[in-house]
Amino acid sequence: MLDWLPPLVLIGAALVVVSVLTSLLAFRIGAPLLLFFLAIGLVAGEDGLGVIYNDWSGAYLIGSIALAIILFDAGFGTKTRYFKKAAAPAITLATLGVVLTTALVGAAAYWLFDLSWPYAFLLGAIISSTDAAAVFYLLRVGGITLRERVRATLGVESGSNDPIAIFLVTALVELISLQAGFAGFTQELLLGFALQMGLGIALGVAGGFLLVRLLNAIELEAALYPILVIAAALLLFAVTSQFGGSGFIAVYVAGLIAGNRPVPHVTALRRLQDGMTWLAQILMFLVLGLLATPSEFPAVLLPAIGLALFLMFFARPLAVGVCLLPFGFSAKEVTFIGWVGLRGAVSILLAILPFLGGLDSAQAFFNVAFIMVLTSLLVQGWTIKPVAQRLGLIVPERLGPVEKIELELPGTAHHELVVYHVMPGSPIVGGARLPRWARPALVLRDGRSMHFRKAGHLQPDDYLYIFMAPQYASALDHLFAGDSVQEAERRAFFGDFAIAPDAPIRALVDVYGATLDQHDNRTDTSTVGGYLKDRLQRPEPGDRLRLGSVELIVRAVDSRDQVTEVGLSFD
């Protein structure tokens, strides 16, 4: 009766294991890992090893659940400070940018594929959203630390543009299926958009606060908290969708709220969510790869690649340029954001909707979207780091390598156990002392544990276990940071040395010969930090202000955008 079950489990488990193991190869050659997952699905599919999977409804269900998990984790990992800084430009990109991209790609598809306008715009909407998972995986693997505002904008846009694209595709499929007129449909479209987004945001806010309150009000086994959170996120997704709202927006907003409130066992929560997000991405790409039939690709290959290049080199950059025009981004930042618009599993997932709507040419739409995603991952995926370097947007690390593990202690939120790996060349090896508030517990050296006071001077490759309040953890990083070959690069970026942000700005004239605006009355009373804040409005690390032969560089800011560290550089 259940003879199909063992082969299904065997095939599914084998594909997941192979996908995970390919990450070793992807990390070594710097390839987009998600491309490997997609390729494994293709190899195992109908034109490869012969695994036939053509359940479009099931694939869309699996993809939707996986996307809900990914979006909840994206919101959970976004800090409120970054969201506030990037909300306006990112949401403009996620709404107006998606619409502009849909229109531009639709116009190109109308010419390349000889489609009617509704079908052309549908193809544009299918490919209009970026893939957050692909973007941040490539940034992490490439060791790319971007300027704060650029990174936050990319993150919030990628996390919030999927629901807009899903709404557009659903609405256009409905328009084509019902053969409705554009006039009456436009009004219905706007009302539907307001309902879905409004209800999604409202239920997401309510669900996020309710989840935080629930987690803090009950006591469970530690292992049950992450399960409760994932299940609650999926429940919120289902309930919101049932009432006609956008479940994807709801889970993203709920994750944003829950991730920025104190909840128990947050370390375990983040670890399980990381694993669940990876599993969700693997399943999405494997299933979508199994659905594809590469033998049908040649019929649409050349126009699909042409449309992908049009999207990468014209439609996306133009839409980004228009959307970011009011927000004061530099030309280099706009160029990079325009280039980092990778397409991923969401576009292929949206290509399933024409099948579910019973549209003609649904298979051709799926094939075109698949080829465009492959082209995006191949061209943009391998060029993110070189483009960021060429545009000068990579921020060097302030410290050398620091390796630590933070362990949340049961029964208290006031202290945690931090394990530091002592790096060669770190100040702690040279005899630097720990602050009094850090409570070292033991030293692990060559596989043997010993009391801190009996271990003598710390040595490279020791592991030191320290109890401390979590808000002080980053204060110890500089003691354990090793030497870095990028020291010259860091000094060039952050300045030759630091000056106090509360020093009077006039002192720079007397000591360093800085040139100030003589017509600015504030220069008589301003501090260095205050002067930078007034001139730059919303400063962030890496911002520079030239004062004659002297250049002030913002090294760090607090949550209120006040400058807390300033570097100084000379010609």
Per-residue confidence (pLDDT) for residue 56, from 0 to 100: 82
CB-CB contact of 380 with 342 (8 Å): yes
Q: What is the distance between the alpha carbons of residues 191 and 203, in angstroms, rounded to a whole number?
A: 18
Q: CB count, 10 Å around CB of 327?
A: 17
Instruction: Name the residue with tokens 């980004």.
Output: 320
* H, E, C per residue of 364-388: HHHHHHHHHHHHHHHHCCCCHHHHH
Q: CB count, 10 Å around CB of 478?
A: 15
Per-residue confidence (pLDDT) for residue 121, from 0 to 100: 92
The CATH architecture annotation of domain 403-480 reads 2-Layer Sandwich (3.30)
More confident residue, 490 or 304: 304
Length of the chain counted residue by residue:
571
Per-residue confidence (pLDDT) for residue 507, from 0 to 100: 73
Q: In the structure, what pLDDT confidence band is assigned to residue 92 with cuts at 50, 70 and 90?
A: very high
Question: For the residues of 242-298, what is the DSSP string, one character each?
Answer: HTTS-HHHHHHHHHHHHTTS--TTHHHHHHHHHHHHHHHHHHHHHHHHHH--GGGGG
Question: Is pLDDT of 401 > 50?
Answer: no
pTM: 0.76
- Which token pair is 475? 């204060």
Please report, rounded to a whole number, the percentage of residues in the chain having pLDDT higher than 70: 77
Rounded (to 5) percent helix, strand, coil in the chain: 60, 10, 30
239, β-bridge pairs: none
Per-residue confidence (pLDDT) for residue 432, from 0 to 100: 67
Per-residue confidence (pLDDT) for residue 132, from 0 to 100: 63
| Dihedral over Cα of 241, 243, 245, 249: its sign | negative
Contacts of the segment 50-54: beta carbons below 8 A, 24+ positions apart: 51/11, 51/290, 53/287, 53/290, 53/291, 54/291
More confident residue, 105 or 22: 105
CB-CB contact of 101 with 124 (8 Å): yes
Q: What is the distance between the alpha carbons of residues 184 and 165, in angstroms, rounded to a whole number?
A: 21
Nearest to residue 23, comparing CAs of 246, 278, 225?
278
Question: Is pLDDT of 418 > 80?
Answer: no
Q: In the structure, what pLDDT confidence band is assigned to residue 130 with cuts at 50, 70 and 90?
A: confident
More confident residue, 207 or 329: 207
Domains of the chain, residue spans: 1-31, 56-391, 403-480, 487-570
Q: What is the distance between the alpha carbons of residues 273 and 74, in angstroms, rounded to a whole number?
A: 10
Q: What is the distance between the alpha carbons of residues 370 and 47, in angstroms, rounded to a whole number?
A: 15
Q: What is the mean pLDDT of the chain?
A: 79
pLDDT tens by residue, 469-483:
766 666 666 666 665
- Which token pair is 127? 């490919």
- Which token pair is 347? 């576009």
Most confident of 17-26, 223-232, 273-282, 300-309: 300-309
pLDDT tens by residue, 509-552:
766 667 776 656 666 667 888 888 888 777 877 778 887 777 88
482: enclosing H helix or E strand: none
Q: In the structure, what pLDDT confidence band is assigned to residue 162 with cuts at 50, 70 and 90?
A: confident
Which residues, 6+ apart, have CB-to-CB distance to 250 below 8 Å? Answer: 200, 201, 203, 204, 207, 236, 237, 240
Per-residue confidence (pLDDT) for residue 423, from 0 to 100: 75
On whether the 56-391 domain is CATH 1.10.274.10, my answer is: no
Q: In the structure, what pLDDT confidence band is assigned to residue 505 with cuts at 50, 70 and 90?
A: confident
Q: What is the distance between the alpha carbons of residues 446 and 455, in angstroms, rounded to a whole number?
A: 12
554, β-bridge pairs: 566
Per-residue confidence (pLDDT) for residue 268, from 0 to 100: 77
Q: In the structure, what pLDDT confidence band is assigned to residue 164 with cuts at 50, 70 and 90?
A: confident
- Which token pair is 309? 């290049």
Per-residue confidence (pLDDT) for residue 540, from 0 to 100: 75
Per-residue confidence (pLDDT) for residue 202, from 0 to 100: 94
More confident residue, 26 or 501: 501
Per-residue confidence (pLDDT) for residue 391, from 0 to 100: 84
pLDDT tens by residue, 33-81:
667 777 777 777 766 666 666 778 888 888 889 889 988 988 888 888 7
Most confident of 98-112, 176-190, 526-540: 98-112
Which residues, 6+ apart, have CB-to-CB distance to 402 below 8 Å? Answer: 420, 423, 477, 480, 481, 482
- Which token pair is 19? 């996908």
Question: Is pLDDT of 484 > 60?
Answer: no
First and final CA of the chain: distance in angstroms? 80
CB-CB contact of 98 with 164 (8 Å): yes
CB-CB contact of 441 with 466 (8 Å): yes
Instruction: Name the residue with tokens 């602050």.
Output: 435
More confident residue, 401 or 421: 421
Q: What is the distance between the alpha carbons of residues 158 and 250, in angstroms, rounded to a whole number?
A: 15
Per-residue confidence (pLDDT) for residue 4, from 0 to 100: 45
User: Exposure pattern of 181-199 as b/e (b: 16+ CB <10 Å)?
Assistant: eeeebeeebeebbeebbeb
463, β-bridge pairs: 421, 444
- Which token pair is 157? 């846009």
Nearest to residue 128, comparing CAs of 116, 120, 136?
120
Cα pseudo-dihedral 127, 129, 130, 132, rounded to 10: -130
Top-level class of domain 487-570: alpha beta
Averaged over 274-303, what is the pLDDT? 83
How do 416-421 and 448-451 pair as beta strands?
unpaired
CB-CB contact of 255 with 208 (8 Å): yes
Lowest mean pLDDT among 129-143, 144-158, 184-198, 438-452: 129-143
Nearest to residue 135, comparing CAs of 164, 120, 156?
156
Lowest mean pLDDT among 200-209, 217-226, 302-311: 217-226
Averaged over 243-263, what is the pLDDT? 89
400: enclosing H helix or E strand: none
Per-residue confidence (pLDDT) for residue 400, from 0 to 100: 47
Averaged over 130-150, what is the pLDDT? 68
User: Exposure pattern of 411-447 as b/e (b: 16+ CB <10 Å)?
Assistant: eeeeebebebbbbeebebbeeeebeeebebeebbbee
What angle, 0 to 180 degrees and rounded to 10, lies between the N-to-C axes of helices 132-141 and 384-391?
70
527, β-bridge pairs: 504
Nearest to residue 38, comparing CAs of 348, 352, 354, 356?
348
- Which token pair is 427? 């100040």
Per-residue confidence (pLDDT) for residue 101, from 0 to 100: 94
Per-residue confidence (pLDDT) for residue 102, from 0 to 100: 93
